[in-house]
Structure 1
Amino acid sequence: MAHFSPDRSWRTFKRSLLNHYVLNGLEVALGLFLVTTLVHLVWGVQHAAAASVGVIVTIVVDMPAPKRGKFWRMLPAPLLGAPLFWLVQLLHQHPLLLGFLAVFSTFFGFLWMAWGKRGGPVAIAVVLAMVLAMSITPQPGHVLEVATQSTLFFVIGAAVYLVYAVAANAILNLRYRVQFIADTVLSLAALMLEQARMVLPDAARHVGLDDETVDGEAYGDNLADRNFGSFSRQSPQAAHMGNLLARHAAFADQLQAARDIVLESPRTPRRQRLAGMLMQMLDIRDHLLACELDLEHLRKVPEQAPMLLAQQAMLRALALELVHLADSLLWARKPQPMVNLNTLLRPMKAACTPRQRLEEALPDQYDPAALPPQALSQELSERIVRIHGEVNRLIQLGRDEAEPDLAVVRASWQMFVSPTAWSWSPFKGLMSWDAPPLRHAIRAALAIALGYVVVQLLPWKAHAYWVLLTIVVVLRGSLAQTLERRTIRVLGTLLGCVAALAILSAHLPPLALILCLTLAQGISHGFALRRYLFTAMGATVLGLVQAHMLNAEGSTSFHMFERVVDTIIGTGIAWAFAYVLPSWERSQVPALVQRVLKAQAAHVRTSLSVEQLQAVDNVPELAWRLARREAYDSLSALVQAVDRSLKEPRAVQPPLQALEQLQAHCYQLLGQMTSVKIMLMMRRGQTPSSFAVQQMQETVADVDAHLLAPLAAQSSADAALPKPPAPEPVPDPEDRDLLPWLMRRLAASRILARQLQADAAQIHQALARQEPEVPVAEAAQAR
């Protein structure tokens, strides 16, 4: 059997070069070069430098995006940046007024963070326009005339690049779709490999998966490598569980980014196949989640070790097939057919025999824990066989040998993509003093105020805007992100200074400097979300070369010294102000937990809906898919918040152990519902017996009662962990093939709902007492 390549660096490098981040970086670099060169050839190098500032400000918001709404998504950055650029130049000779403008524009700009991932780049662009305007040395002549002329070329550069960016995004749309699908496939392969690690007991993990990884996902790789908080301080099993949660969060995060691109107008056959691949990966993810069920029971049975080993080998082989598929998509090659895995499939197919003996042995009173290990292992084998079939179909879709489910694709087109229009709704959330975007805007404005005062005291005021620029790019919304950028920014600046010194010492002609500026911008933009060290290096070269073009006088080496000192000062200020008016993650936890519980209850309700079995349209299926997306997305948001809280002072950390228990129980409940959903959809067109329907309705009512209850009204006694329910009396049912498994899943779901209620109550009590950690009792297992 083929093995994963041990050379992680080479694998990562190859995939990084073919990633949509790099393609987007090349696209923006080409745009900067074309616009700046055009202005340089027509109006000269000085005006080209001003035009390049307009381009750079617009580039900040130029990310791969759906064609629909691309123009309006980018427009706010140059529209807000141009008047600010003009005002800064008017006030060059009035330091006090310029300082007030810098503080106000920073506060106003960072309020755009309220719009989330769309608003963040706009906030950076607005402040960047202000900071870069300070870099332009005042020219002789009337101040108003000079400022207006410089702003005119800023607008020309921004306008021409805006048209170019919209056109380039449309041209590269199909390639972006393929790259996003490839990234999602890699994230799914990493999730599958982590699930393979979970199959065997701790003592048997020496068989070979610890050193195998799937590189390619930016967030998932970093998060899982940190071993997910305090899970790493517990048993190896708990550490693997932490990594599994991180991989699920990474896949959910990657999935939404892919949805926005891939599900837009899937009208052509090629687009439909790519959208079909995306929907196929959702089904694979669901089967993987269900594979976690009952594993803890099976690991304790020595007789099941050979079958578990075979199941792990199959998951590992399928992960490798996904990696090959992703690499083929990135290299624009037709994927190879799936490798024949019959040798690995044979023992699992042999285990998937009819369950007649189990069904005939159904007792008068059903105990959810009474199913024998052989039956549980059989069900796990069936799931893995289904995953094999789903992966095979995914590869066939990639090879254009299978047709996508167009009904699902069309139903998902507009329902699962992020909104593209700007609205005032997020602005209403800024009315609260506790709103994180408002506190971050105040924090950033105060940091800029202090930075500006420090700038006035420095002996080199001509390039002191670098202090403010460093504050803007280092100071993030959370302490974890600020600390992550702090050290990398200084190191990247030092390396960038060396590169810029080599470039400027060569005394290159203006067109060559424009080319260097272009490459630096492409690297800085392309690696902003992947490798910030490269971004810091590119930004340093960009700033130094642009400063040289705007003001060629002065010592190059002294500029290097200024750059390093200013970066250290700006980083220190950003670091210090990360603790001013902090928005600790614990303040967001109650809302995130409530969102998770509501999403879990809605997912249970739609998964157990009997109407879906007799529906003649896709309305119930669409409702379930929407509920499933919210369940995963809410969990992903909670996982990321917990990860960020690990960098915060221990005294203000949320109750990590309770949060991790809650997340683990949520994924277990999702797995239980996924298993039930699969069982029910296999019987679509048939109505279960009245007893089964009653049990499903009672489970929905029980789950709602526990997950939707107000946490503040619960006492510590209410939060006690539940005991398994008593055996249910079973009438003579019509569907004896469904009932044993359905009852087991429903019973486990009720236990998990009570455990989630207990976890949420402990989190609420810990936060109410302002304690950093609340011990969590040993949870009862309900898998």
Structure 2
Amino acid sequence: MAHFSSDRSWRTFKRGLLNHYVLNGLEVALGLFLVTTLVQLIWGTQHAAAASVGVIVSIIVDNPAPRRGKFWRMLPAPVLGAPLFFLVQLMHQHLVLLGMLAVLSTFLGFLWMAWGKRGAPIAIAVVLAMVLGMSVPKPPEGQLLAAAAESTLFFSIGAGMFLVYAVIANTLLNFRYRVQFIADTVLSLAALMLEQARMVLPEAARHVGLDGETVDGEAYGDNLADRNFGKFSRTGLPQQHMGQLMARHAAFADQLQAARDIVLESPRTPRRQRLAGMLLQMLEIRDHLLACELDLEHLRKAPEQAPMLLAQQATLRALAMELVHLADSLLLGRKPRPMSNLDALLRPMQMASQTPVQRLEESLPDHFDADVSPQALSRELSERIVRIHEEVSRLVGLGRDEVEPDLAVVRASWQMFVSPTAWSWTPFKGLMSWDAPPLRHAIRAALAIAVGYVVVQMLPWNAHAYWVLLTIVVVLRGSLAQTLERRTIRVLGTLLGCVAALAILSAHLSPLGLILCLTLAQGVAHGFALRRYLFTAMGATVLGLVQAHMLHAGGSTTFHMFERVVDTLIGTGIAWAFAYVLPSWERSQLPALVQRVLKAQAAHASTSLAVDQLQAVDNAPELAWRLARREAYDSLSALIQAVDRSLKEPRAVQPPLQALELFQAHCYQLLGQMSSVKIMLMMRRGQTPSPFAVQQLKDTAASIDACLLQAPQIAASDADAQRPAKMPAPERVPGPEDRDQLIPWLMRRLATARILASQLQQDAVQIRQLLAREETLPPVQAEAAQAQST
């Protein structure tokens, strides 16, 4: 066991070092070193310190990004930061005006949060320019304007030089970033497949052979799925693995979008096309995995199916490990090893699928009253796992350059699935509402900065007041969950960083040595910002103290350490307190998120059941379906993450967790049914479907669309009337040679999809009713009602 733990830790460590976060941290650290050293050699240490501030502000927005639009993505930070840096220095002697400027700049800067993940780094960079402007020492009387202009000039020189460097470095590292994002996505898929393997067996036996199996080092799973393992147990539901399975799906959806922006940009060369083909191949595997969840509940209740379930679980686990090996090879820059021979695991499932069964005709009546055979359901699951094996084999073949990607799909997906790079005024229009979370967060942050500024003026060391404000900026986040997560880590990281900075400054290093320390601290702070915030807090503390020492060129190091610790405690306390001011509780966003999910599910069902895709001569229907599928998964991911953040909020304002989790589970079940139907239809592409099948597809699409998009009151009252009769199934999923057996399986899937659509709308109605009822209750009664609902 000790050997296993050490081996697992070493694998995790290697994956962490080879991740794109660390590579990006090394890239920005090298840029800081080159720019600061060049300025120091030409103009001296004092000007190098000012240039380093410009570099640090620009580094905030330097993340792996598509080559197209990289310059314009980074430009707003130094353009907005330089004049603010200048104005702060001009007001050194006017404390009231300086405080007003700090509050106003914080408010305006945090409005960039309206642009989401693209705008958040700019908001932090703008406010950071203001805060670091306070760290510049006051010049002698009569030299204020000249000193401010000079330091701002070198701020701009540093920012400009780094901006050019960052664009060039991003271009040079583009292919390596593509490989790293693909490897991260493969790891996330492996974690999802491993969790799906756990779901195959009954809950009492899920620990057999799998509790020790984990996929460490993936980009998003550690941050979302692992925290959600116990979420279902908190609401009284025993299905802990279901909660983690949905979280894994959400994590994989997030990872996919991050990879799309890099991997699907201009896949013109064979190497880029192969990586893009791997990304699209993983989408197909995800759909098959989701369909594997269908009918498992019935299979787990059949004791005679236990041996087959064990074989199916073992196969999924083996395939997950194949994905892990593929990801590790990509990260190490090695050619992946060939796919392992899994014939021994696949043989029972292949034999089961080849057993002769009674043939069924397409001319079946609309409804049946027969039960579904567990043997038939087991054969269907076996067929799916065999297909997953084929898809994984193709993915490994793409990684080994032995399989050619589908260039038609790659070219069609190039621009349709990449996030826009141009700045738009559309998000700004959303700030006109008082309930807009970015607006409320901007007001909250401005008020926190105002209080922090007043507090530091009362401290005996108010010359270093910027540290309190800096702590407020980095700790106070848009949600209470994120603020609480950073609160303790920030304090601990500051303490450790102070010890490291004390050792560095006590060594009395040369200017070049200090620049090297500054470089290392910046690389650590930037490289681990989204993975291990403790390291980021440590690096940022060293960075701030060493840079302040370079700007001030003296002072009592020991006393500065004490100041920083006290300032951090004060700033953290203020940020924690203001997290409850004008709060944007997650429950206020849930109605819109639920409605988005319903619309996305309806659109996905409509495109999945479209009859014209069977006779299409181009990829237009397929592209429409892929876009609808992406929105379905992305909307569900956004909902799951909102529910995850709500777990850290006060119990009185938490949403109805049980209703939301049932809603999420039904959404994934509906996606699984639609994926299964889509696979069935693609097996018949190019053939003329029977009029009966066409009519069933059209009726089901219209029923689901009406159920999910109609008025809630109608859905709630007519739900039972819309529930179709139970449909039977033949003995196995049809293969290409048995296409006449499609109709019974199709009828079963369509009937179940109608039921799930009805349940989805009922879940949505219940969520709205619970939210509305709790909003009208006093806090104590609301907390009691919330506890009763969960």
The question of a shared fold, defined as TM-score above 0.5 by the shorter chain, is answered with yes
2:750 maps to 746
Q: Secondary structure at the match of 2:228?
A: coil
1:17 to 1:369, Cα distance in 2 relative to 1, 3 A: farther
- Structure-2 separation of matches of 1:721 and 1:25: 58
Cα shift at 1:689: 1.1
Measure the CA separation in 2 of the matches of 1:166 and 1:629. 29
| 1:533 pairs with 2:530 | no
Q: Distance in 2 between matches of 1:361 and 1:435?
A: 54
What SS does structure 2 have at the residue aligned with 1:370? coil
- For normalisation by structure 1, the TM-score amounts to 0.96
> Distance between the aligned counterparts of 1:213 and 1:723, measured in 2?
40
Aligned residue for 2:154? 153
Give per-residue Cα distances to partners, 1:123-168, cap 9 Å, x unaligned. 0000000000000101225211110000000000000000000000
Change in Cα spacing, 1:441 to 1:721, as seen in structure 2 (3 Å) is: farther
In the alignment, the residues of structure 2 paired with residue 76 and residue 777 of structure 1 have an alpha-carbon distance, to the nearest angstrom, of: 46
Task: Give the direction of change, closer, same or farther, for the CA distance of 1:482–1:614 in structure 2 (3 Å limit).
Answer: same
- What's the CA shift for 1:362? 8.9
Q: How far is the alpha carbon of 1:722 from its aligned partner?
A: 7.5
Q: Find the counterpart in structure 2 of residue 397 from structure 1.
A: 398
Q: Measure the CA separation in 1 of the matches of 2:788 and 2:765.
A: 11
Q: How does 1:55-454 map to 2 (within 5 A)?
A: 55-140=55-140, 141-228=142-229, 230-233=231-234, 238-353=239-354, 356-357=357-358, 359=360, 366-367=367-368, 370-454=371-455
- TM-score under structure 2 normalisation? 0.95
Aligned-partner SS, 1:117: coil
What is the match of residue 765 of structure 1?
A: 769
How many angstroms does 1:93 deviate by? 0.5
1:4–1:46 distance in 2 versus 1, CA, 3 Å: same
1:32 and 1:187 mapped to 2: Cα distance?
A: 32
Query: For each residue in 1:389-428, what CA deviation from the matched residue of structure 2 results, as whole angstroms up to 9, or x when unmatched?
Result: 1101101100101100000000000000000000100000
The 10-residue stretch of structure 1 (252-261 or 547-556) with the greater mean CA deviation from structure 2: 547-556
Q: Aligned runs of 1:464-613 on 2, under 5 Å?
A: 464-613=465-614
Deviation at 1:658, TM superposition (A): 0.6
Letter of the structure 1 residue corresponding to residue 319 of structure 2: L
Within the alignment, does 1:683 sit opposite 2:687 as a pair?
no
Structure 1 residues 379, 716: CA separation in 2 closer, same or farther (over 3 Å shift)?
Answer: closer
| CA distance 1:160–1:625, shift in 2 (3 Å) | same
Give the Cα–Cα distance (whole angstroms) in 2 for the partners of residues 721 and 491 of structure 1: 59
Secondary structure of residue in 1 paired with 2:68? coil
Give how far 1:9 is off. Answer: 2.6
Is 1:756 aligned with 2:757? no
Question: d(CA) in 2 for partners of 1:338 and 1:455?
Answer: 62
For the residues of structure 1 that align with 2:659 and 2:705, how far apart are their CA atoms?
21
Letter in 2 for 1:56: I
Asked if 1 retains the 8 angstrom alpha-carbon contact of 2:525 and 2:537, the reply is yes
Q: 2:674 aligned with 1:673, yes or no?
A: yes
Q: Please give the per-residue CA displacement for 1:250-299, whole angstroms capped at 9, x wherever unaligned.
A: 00000000000000000000000000000000000000000000100000
SS in 1 for 2:112: helix
- What's the counterpart of residue 655 of structure 1? 656
Contact 2:250–2:636 (CA under 8 A) maintained in structure 1: yes
Quick one: structure 1 residues 721 and 65, their matched pair in 2 at CA, closer, same or farther if it must change by over 3 Å?
A: farther
Distance in 1 between residues matched to 2:411 and 2:150, nearest whole Å: 50
Q: What does 1:31-70 align with in structure 2 at a 5 Å threshold?
A: 31-70=31-70
Q: Following the alignment from structure 1 to structure 2, what is the Cα–Cα distance between the partners of residues 438 and 381?
A: 52
Deviations 1:523-569 (A, max 9, x none): 00000000000000000000000010001221101000000000000
User: How many residues of Structure 1 are paired with residues of Structure 2 in the alignment?
Assistant: 772
Corresponding letter in the other structure for 1:453: V
Once structures 1 and 2 are overlaid, which stretch shifts more, 126-135 or 223-232? 223-232
Aligned Cα root-mean-square deviation (Å): 2.1
**1:590 partner amino acid:** P
Identify if the C-alpha distance between structure 1 residues 724 and 200 changes in structure 2 by more than 3 Å, giving closer, same or farther. Answer: farther
Deviation at 1:691, TM superposition (A): 1.0
* Alpha-carbon distance change, 606 to 240 in structure 1, aligned in 2, over 3 angstroms: same
Aligned partner of 1:738: which letter? L
Query: What is the alpha-carbon distance in structure 2 between the residues aligned to residue 12 and residue 629 of structure 1?
Result: 30
Q: Distance in 1 between matches of 2:306 and 2:444?
A: 56
Moved more, 552-561 or 30-39: 552-561
* Structure 1 residues 237 and 199: alpha-carbon distance in aligned structure 2, compared to 1, 3 A threshold: farther
- Which structure 1 residue ranges, 4+ long, deviate > 6 Å from structure 2? 3-6, 360-363, 719-722, 774-778
The 3 A distance-change label for structure 1 pair 368 and 259 is farther
Is the alpha carbon distance of 1:361 and 1:283 closer, same or farther for their aligned partners in structure 2, counting shifts above 3 Å? closer
User: Residue type matched to 2:710 in 1?
Assistant: A
Q: 1:598 to 1:466 in 2, by over 3 A?
A: same
Encode CA deviations 1:762-783: one digit per residue, 9 max, x unaligned: 00101111256569999xxxxx
Counterpart residue type for residue 61 of structure 2: V
Of the structure 1 ranges 395-404 and 200-209, higher mean CA displacement relative to structure 2 is found in: 200-209
In 2: Cα distance, 1:365 partner to 1:290 partner: 24
- Partner letter of residue 737 of structure 1? Q
Which deviates the most, 642-651 or 364-373? 364-373
Q: Give the partner amino acid of 1:743.
A: M
